[in-house]
Each structure stands twice: as structure tokens, then as C-alpha cells.
Structure 1
Amino acid sequence: MAENSPNTPIDAAAAADAAFAAVAGKPFPSDVFTAPDLRWAVIGCGVIANQMAESFALAGRKLAGVQNRTRAKAEAFAERWGVARVYDTPEELYADPDIDAIYITTPHNTHIKYLRGALGSGKHVLCEKSITLNSEELAEALTIADANHVQLVDATTILHMPLYREIIRRAMAGDFGQMNLAQINFGSYKEFDPKSRFYNRDLAGGALLDIGVYAITLARLFMMSLPEDVLSIANACSTGVDVTSGIVLRNPDMQMATITLSLHSKQPKRAVLSFDDCYIEVTDYPRADRATIVWTADGRREEIRAGEEAYALCYEAANLERAVAGDQVEQNMIAYTVDVMAIMTMLRRQWGIRYPEEEQA
């Protein structure tokens, strides 16, 4: 759906609702869940947890368990989605031998706490973005996962949408030439509320971890190596979190990315990937299922489609199940997350933005 369409939903939740409505009553694709099913539980009952439950329902599956800080909310979630088990504490969930994988959907400053418990208890984990606050926390989580022989998968949708897998396949086949420049925007309008998760420093608010992770992940996915030159400038609000920023990345292969983020001004979620022989434009890129190729030689336009926006969270869960089954491509995707987290950690240090947990550490 085009960003400037009068029918475009005004926020991510509305966009997801529209995507689910578009596939209502359609057969679920047989090529999404191809590895052995795991028994899933979710921590947190917010918007994204409900989207995962709805995604599983599209596939004819159900979550097996739910844990939330407020039990009443967990019970309501379980009743709505037919979840069999409600846990009083995370520890009760971790100890359940009938759960194989846990989806963590809580605010990102709490992720490391749940990652320690879940991974340390031998559970595979799909963790919402931003997977941790910084590189040090991510390194700790990966060490725990390795020690317990379990998989940790980043739920940033960019890493899982079939569209990007298809574009990468064609790029690696030499269809486009080398990628030289990525221009990526993401602007949201969030009403300023110092207590909201978007602006509250105690909840690790700010544009970078909330929306910048999408842009930086997309840039890194199409760069041949980790950017070494990271230049930026950012504006912070009165609560001390980043609200607007401009970022330039360059790697040793001379590939560049320019990224613009805003938490208080709406702008198109648009990515343009410029190659030797074409540029590829992706609108609403976090869960995109289509893109437009414009060929340099003659201006010809080609539409490329892969996957379905409504199944974004299914792709994430399915890829974790593939990783658990031994798929090395899926197991190795976490390397992109490590690079993205390194960039975001460097950026916040440039800006002098630290969260309470980091100061205590």
C-alpha cells in the first residue's frame, strides 16, 4: 500500500490490522512453516504479542503459554487466543518442559533480564527489537545461548521478510551490479508524553532503538561489510532521549547509507537501494512484500513481489524453527544483529545518550 494513499493506515497497528484483513479467509501458504513445530509461549501481552497470536491463528496454530506482569491481562489474552497455560512468573514458564521457545515482547530495556532466564533455562528465544540495549548485553545473551545450545533469533522484521531474501538472491546472482548507496527514512509522529515508552528514558525510549533499528538493519543487510565510518547528529528532547537524527554509514567497500529518523514528525518509511544497474525503491519497508526496480539504462520499471505483509511474524517464528532444526542460514542471521547493535551502541555513545541500566552497569 503506497505511503501517500488516502487509505493508508495511520500507524503500524492499523497497518497490521489492514494486512490481516487482506488475507482473511485465504489458505495459509504451505511453504512458511517447513521445520518441525515448536511449542511456543509469549512474555508480554501488548500489541505485538496479540499480532503474533493472530499470526499463529492464520496458520492454524496456537501459542501454548503466556506470562505477563499482570496476571489478569495474561488471562484475558489466553481466553481471547485459546492459550492453554498462564504462568504467574517468568521462572514458572522457564521451568515448564512442555515449552520449547519463548517470544519476548516486553519493553527493550527488560529484554536482557528475560534473555538470561529463558536462554539459561534451555529455551530457544525470538526476541523483539531492539533485542538488547547495547552490544555488551547482546554479547552476554549470545554467550548464554551458546552455553545452553539454544537459538537466539532477532525479531526485527527486515531480517525475515521474503522480499529481502529475494532481492539479496538476485543481487548475489549479479542482476543489479554492486549496491553503492542506500537512502532510508523512517518518521513517526508520537505525541510527546514523557511517561510513554517512546520518550521515557527509564523505558529506554528514543527513535534509534524503536524505529532506527529497522533502517540500520536494512542498510547492513545490503552492505558487503560492517560500516567503519559512522557519522551522525541527533536532537534530544527534554527527557534525554533521541528524537531526530541524521546518520551516514560507510564501509571499507565504499558502500554508503544515509538514514533519517524522527519520532515526532511523520515522513515516509521509504528505502532506496542504488546499484550499478538500477535502483530499488521499497515503501513501508519494515514489513514490505513488494518493491519497484527502476533500471538505469532505459528507465524501465519492474515490480518484484515476495511473501505477504500479514505473515511477517509467521516468518520470524518459522525462521527460528528452521534455526533449531539446523538451518545454518537462519542460525547465522544473528551476525547482522551483532553488527547493527554495534552501530547503534556507537551512535548513542556519540550522542551521549545512556539509559539508567547502563549507568548502573
Structure 2
Amino acid sequence: MHQTKILNWGIVSTGQIADKFCTDMPFVENAKVTAVAARKLEDAEQFAQKHNIEKVYQGYQALFDDPLIDVIYVATPHNFHFQQVYAALMANKHVLCEKPITISSKEFKTLSCLAKKKNLFLMEAMWSYFLPAVLQAKKWVEQGRIGNIKHIKADFGYAVPYEPKGRMYNPELAGGCLFDMGIYPLAIAHCFKPAPLSEVNIKVQFAKTGVDNDLVILAKANEVTLSLATSFQCRLQNAALIIGDKGYIKIPNFWRAKSCALYQLDEKIEEFNDASLGWGLNHEATQVCSAIINNQIEHAIMPHSVSLLLQQQIEQIKSLF
């Protein structure tokens, strides 16, 4: 009988997204969360107890040096990603890193080169790209159900209480809504229309700390008009609309999508509801495991080229601040 290869995962950070990720890992058949590391030992111990994880480490290097660990999941604030991913790759570990994977295209190029040189898998954790509802929406587009795409509208925002020292508002922690939430609208636009941005116009507002806390982006991706927004000031609609000349697709809460609907004029023609359990992070983790087991160092759905492009788009937009 062919035995399924099990990959041992090590988790960097015990924050909210790491918690959701580990909650979903039991739905991934060829993965086991074996270790967790945090700056404070008690945080790692509490997290390990909650998620039934055998090993705990204080500090991250000890985790990277553990010979039993195959894959590292990095879920710290994004300004720490570069050094942690770099250290994990240097320790010969495959890496899945939360988005944005770095805070500059230069940093990402360094990591991409290192991963390729060491023949290791590296991917930005763009979980939205792997969600069944988003894949269904893409299928409708490919089938010509909405005709030629004319507009993509997407926004993602939540009212975030103002804490000058907190991760969201602190410029030293690469704060601001573009880095934190804005990557999602940019990524979903690229998912349905992979093209560079042109004719970029922005309306931006800033918090007292100087970071952006409300941003609207108008741009073109070839012949498609993009209307994207992100905010720390208020909850936006948090939906994506893919609008064609024959109909449109609505994806509510597109970043964690559980459903999508196909419309022609005002009539709903078809609907898809994802009945799978969990938050949805398991779809991404399953694909990462599969790619590593098949000796791939990039994933076709979220290759290095897309991560680099998103970094360049963020820089392009920031240059207009």
C-alpha cells in the first residue's frame, strides 16, 4: 500500500492568522504541525496546548535548526518576514510566508534567488487564490459566461482602532492599510486580469503617525478598469465584482470567500457555495504540501512572478503618496 508522505510543519508566531492556520491544518491530509516558535516561551506553550503541538521553541532559529521540520509557516508582522524567511531558507527549510511576503521588491528578489539556488519551495500565502469560490468564479470567466471583462471592483477595509505603537499604525512596523489590507484587492484584480497597472490615480488619507489609513486606487490593467479601495477608517463592502459585457460575478468577502454568484443583467443565473469546513487556509496548505512532495519550488497558482509584481504595484502606488 502506498503510504502518504507527511510533511512536518513549524509555525513562526502565535498570532491570529497562525491560530486560524493551525485550526485548519487537521483538514490537510499530508501535513502535521509538529512545532511552534514564539518570542515568549509561554505564548508558544499556550498555542501548542490549544493546537496539540508536540514541540515548542523560544525564538525562531531553534525551530529553523530542527532537523525534523520540513516546512516553515511565517505569520509574523510583515516587516519581519524578510529576515525570518531568509533564515529559514538558509536552514534548508521550505517556506510558506504570510502576505505581503516582503516590504520591497528588492527584498523579494533576494528571497526568490535564494530559494531557487537552494532548490527550496517558497510561496507567499495568498490563500484567496486557492479558495474554491474564487476558482469557481475564474471558471465562469474562462467559460465566457460574463463575456469580456470591462471592470474589476474590489475593496477591503475594517475600522481599526488607532494605536500609534500597534502594528497597523506604526511606520517602523511597515504599517498602513495598503500593505496590510490593500494587497488583497490588488491580488484579486491580478487574479482575474494579470497585467501591469497603468494610468494609476489615487486618493489617500493618512493617520497621525504618517501611515496611510484610507486609500482608493483607480487604474487600468490593459483594457480593464480597476476600482480598488482599502481602509482602516471603516468597514468597506469587502466584495469583489468582476464585470463583463455579458454579465458579472459577485464574490462577497472575496479575501476569505465562501460563495460567489453569476448575474446576467439583474438576474442571478447561478450560485456557488463552498460547504468545506474550516476557515479555508487548508486549501492553500494542501497545495503547498502537494507541490513540495512533487519537488516543485514554486506553485503555478501563486508563483514568484506574481509576488514580485504585487510588490512592484505597491511601490508604484506608494510613489504617488
Match of 1:178 among 131, 142, 148: 148
TM-score (norm 2): 0.92
* 1:145 to 2:115 alignment: yes
Match of 1:255 among 224, 228, 247: 224
- Match of 1:205? 175
Residue pair 1:94, 1:123 contacting (<8 A) in 2 also: yes
Give per-residue Cα distances to partners, 1:1-48, cap 9 Å, x unaligned.
Answer: xxxxxxxxxxxxxxxxxxxxxxxxxxxxxxxxxx84311010001111
Distance 1:223 1:241 in 2: 29
Distance 2:107 2:276 in 1: 33
Give per-residue Cα distances to partners, 1:241-281, cap 9 Å, x unaligned.
Answer: 000111012123x1121112210112221111101211111
* 1:312 to 2:280 alignment: yes
Distance 1:38 1:179 in 2: 40
Superposition deviation, residue 331 in structure 1? 3.9
Q: 1:194-343 alignment to 2 at 5 Å?
A: 194-252=164-222, 254-296=223-265, 299-306=267-274, 308=276, 310-324=278-292, 325-326=294-295, 330-331=299-300, 333-334=302-303, 335-343=305-313
Residue pair 2:204, 2:215 contacting (<8 A) in 1 also: yes
Q: 1:97-136 alignment to 2 at 5 Å?
A: 97-136=67-106
Unmatched 5+ stretches in structure 1: 1-34, 352-361
Residue pair 1:162, 1:307 contacting (<8 A) in 2 also: no
- Match of 1:65? 35
In structure 2, give the amino acid aligned to 1:264.
Answer: Q
Q: Secondary structure at the match of 1:330?
A: coil
Unmatched 5+ stretches in structure 2: none
Q: Secondary structure at the match of 1:211?
A: helix
- Match of 1:354? none
Distance 2:290 2:282 in 1: 12
Give per-residue Cα distances to partners, 1:115-161, cap 9 Å, x unaligned.
Answer: 11111222111111111112111111111111111111111222221
> Which sits farther off after the overlay, 323-332 or 287-296?
323-332
- Match of 1:167? 137
Residue pair 1:103, 1:127 contacting (<8 A) in 2 also: yes
In structure 1, give the amino acid aligned to 2:227.
Answer: T
Distance 1:255 1:266 in 2: 26
Instruction: Summarize the Cα distance change of 1:266–1:128 in structure 2 as closer, same or farther, 3 Å threshold.
Output: same
Q: Secondary structure at the match of 2:235?
A: strand
Distance 1:293 1:328 in 2: 35
Distance 1:309 1:250 in 2: 37
Instruction: Summarize the Cα distance change of 1:245–1:224 in structure 2 as closer, same or farther, 3 Å threshold.
Output: same
Superposition deviation, residue 114 in structure 1? 0.4
Instruction: Summarize the Cα distance change of 1:68–1:271 in structure 2 as closer, same or farther, 3 Å threshold.
Output: same
Superposition deviation, residue 77 in structure 1? 1.2
Residue pair 1:289, 1:309 contacting (<8 A) in 2 also: no
C-alpha RMSD of matched pairs (Å): 2.1
Distance 1:150 1:71 in 2: 29
TM-score (norm 1): 0.82
Superposition deviation, residue 187 in structure 1? 2.0
Give per-residue Cα distances to partners, 1:268-303, cap 9 Å, x unaligned.
Answer: 21111101211111111111121111113x734321
Q: Secondary structure at the match of 1:342?
A: helix
Distance 2:18 2:41 in 1: 15
Distance 1:329 1:178 in 2: 30
- Match of 2:320? 350
Q: Secondary structure at the match of 1:168?
A: helix
Residue pair 2:36, 2:48 contacting (<8 A) in 1 also: yes
* Structure having the larger proportion of residues in strand: 2
Distance 1:299 1:52 in 2: 37
Distance 2:83 2:238 in 1: 31
